[in-house]
């Protein structure tokens, strides 16, 4: 039998045909942009609420450690796992501080402001401070000739010219005062220009007002650095328990 000359070719693979028929249309970037923005907002909101928040430094009270315009990241869960330690830089909220936002602010504007705050791009919705923990619960804190005294012992801190973190010493005497249980005595590194726990307008800070520990300086990039706590040697621990039992803040000595 002779061949008719007809050539038979194998059919294309079924999978290739199906993929060509079922390939979904490509969505443009601009069509997906609203979804990406919502996802970014939700993630930023979750991070800000539960884990990490960025803060903008608005004043010179922590110079030279932190400058005006710097941005830091704050760990908001570390103090759920352990107690705050002397020498750590922390963010805390002032008691009774009113929100900065107006009550008639629109929903979209509130959302954008919250996202910017969570990313450290603008002021937060409440009055926050950033200082260094100097006194722990039960401590007796005083200042003599620019030297901080903790339970009668000098705190080993120094100006930057001597390898420390202070801008300069503040020679104004203070105290002694006793730090109540559940409170912390905060001071700025720029001692002559810091409104902190030395002043009645702020006083000692309750533990529940501490937002978290500042652990890294993220902006500007040229100043990128970690914010480790100061090492005070034997003074790192707080006062003996009997010093803090039922203690109240004493009036500063004349």
Q: In angstroms, rounded to a whole number, what is the distance separating the alpha carbons of residues 17 and 25? A: 16
The alpha carbon dihedral of 82, 86, 91, 93 has a sign of positive
Active site residue 76: no
Which two tokens mark 199? 């002043």
Active site residue 124: no
* Catalytically annotated residue among 76, 117, 124, 131: 131
Q: How many helices (H) and strands (E) does the chain have?
A: 5, 12
Question: In angstroms, how far is CA 13 from the centroid of its own chain?
Answer: 58
The DSSP call for residue 89 is E
Q: In angstroms, rounded to a whole number, what is the distance separating the alpha carbons of residues 210 and 231? A: 21
Q: In angstroms, rounded to a whole number, what is the distance separating the alpha carbons of residues 48 and 242? A: 38
- Enumerate the active-site residues: 61, 131
């Amino acid at each position: 039998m002779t061949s008719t000359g007809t050539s038979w070719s194998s059919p294309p693979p079924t999978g290739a045909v199906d993929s060509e028929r079922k390939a979904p249309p490509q969505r443009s970037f601009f069509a997906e942009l609203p979804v990406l923005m919502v996802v970014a907002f939700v993630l930023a909101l979750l991070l800000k609420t539960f884990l990490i928040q960025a803060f903008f430094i608005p004043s010179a009270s922590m110079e030279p450690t932190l400058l005006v315009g710097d941005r830091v990241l704050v760990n908001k869960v570390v103090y759920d796992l352990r107690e705050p330690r002397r020498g750590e830089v922390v963010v805390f909220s002032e008691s009774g501080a009113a929100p900065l936002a107006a009550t008639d602010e629109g929903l979209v504007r509130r959302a954008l402001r919250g996202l910017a705050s969570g990313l450290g791009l603008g002021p937060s919705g409440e009055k926050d401070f950033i200082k260094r923990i100097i006194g722990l619960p039960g401590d007796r804190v005083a200042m003599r000739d620019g030297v901080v005294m903790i339970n009668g012992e000098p705190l080993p801190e120094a100006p930057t010219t001597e390898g420390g973190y202070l801008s300069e010493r503040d020679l104004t005497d203070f105290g002694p005062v006793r730090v109540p249980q559940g409170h912390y005595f905060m001071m700025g590194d720029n001692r002559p220009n810091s409104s902190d726990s030395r002043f009645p307008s702020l006083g000692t800070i309750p533990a529940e007002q501490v937002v978290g520990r500042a652990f890294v300086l993220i902006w500007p990039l040229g100043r990128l650095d970690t914010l480790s706590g100061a090492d005070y040697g034997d003074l790192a621990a707080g006062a003996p328990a009997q010093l803090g039992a039922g203690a109240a803040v004493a009036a500063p000595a004349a």
